[in-house]
Amino acid sequence: MFRKAENLILKLSPPLVAVAVLVSSLAVFMWVPTDKALGISQRIFYYHVPAASTCFAAFIGAGLASAIFLKTRNEQWDHAAHAAAGVGMVYATIVLITGSIWARTAWGTWWTWDARLTTFLILWLIYAVYLLLRAFSQGNEMGPRYAAVLAIAGAVNIPLVMMATRLWRTIHPKVINNPQGGIQDPRMIATLVLSMVALFTLFLWLWALRMRMLRLGDRVELLLADHYQSSQTFSRSNG
């Protein structure tokens, strides 16, 4: 099932991503009108917001895949979670960087302890530790399990982090549901949707690539171990 999904994504996504990224970039830079209040800098929002939503989806997906992995012990699910968290981290980094750039022009500072920026910093840290945990438990049979529990805890924690930081303080613009400012121009909405599609298909592509990498890496390790084991008179494991 995983091989099929992976192959399908790997076959379809390169042209899809190319078109989507091209069209959405054209829309963002040439077509969509400049926001009256925020000016040109508001265009970064078409990367910032889709990256953020994709990132949430990735982290929640990693949590779900981890739960299934624990239940089924099928390591394909572990690879799925690992890949989703890894690519999700790239997206979280994009969110933090674009947010920071935008904060500089809008609020005059690179960083503020605004609720959503803080949320993403925390998420970024949780999943950075997730990847670190995987690195530190390499060679340990239980490593993937530990990481899976962390991914589940991280996903469960997302709403709490969002709620806590929001109540704590916020100066982040509420763009989508805000009846006053916000985006109303249909071209803005269209551009946002386009960017969403572009960044999400890009995510899928990267995810499938990473999945394949993890699987092939596993296979290489296995072949190597077999090779060593059979070329030795006495084997050296702890059994």
Binding site for another protein (CB under 8 A): 70, 122, 125-126, 129, 132-133, 136-137, 139-143, 145-146, 148-150, 152-154, 156-157, 160-161, 163-165, 167-168, 218, 221-222, 224-226, 229, 233-239
Q: How far is the CB of 159 from another protein (least distance, A)?
A: 9
Q: How far is the CB of 127 from another protein (least distance, A)?
A: 9
Q: How far is the CB of 205 from another protein (least distance, A)?
A: 28
Q: How far is the CB of 95 from another protein (least distance, A)?
A: 16
Residue with smaller CB distance to another protein, 216 or 224: 224
Residue with smaller CB distance to another protein, 86 or 154: 154
Residue with smaller CB distance to another protein, 190 or 215: 215
Q: How far is the CB of 70 from another protein (least distance, A)?
A: 4
Whose tokens are 């990256």? That residue is 51
Residue with smaller CB distance to another protein, 11 or 169: 169
Residue with smaller CB distance to another protein, 185 or 218: 218
State the SS3 of the chain.
CHHHHHHHHHHHHHHHHHHHHHHHHHHHHHHCCCECCCEHHHHHHHHHHHHHHHHHHHHHHHHHHHHHHHHHCCHHHHHHHHHHHHHHHHHHHHHHHHHHHHHHHHHCCCCCCCHHHHHHHHHHHHHHHHHHHHHHCCCCCCHHHHHHHHHHHHHHHHHHHHHHHHHHCCCCCCCCCCCCCCCCCHHHHHHHHHHHHHHHHHHHHHHHHHHHHHHHHHHHHHHHHHHHHHCCCCCCCCC
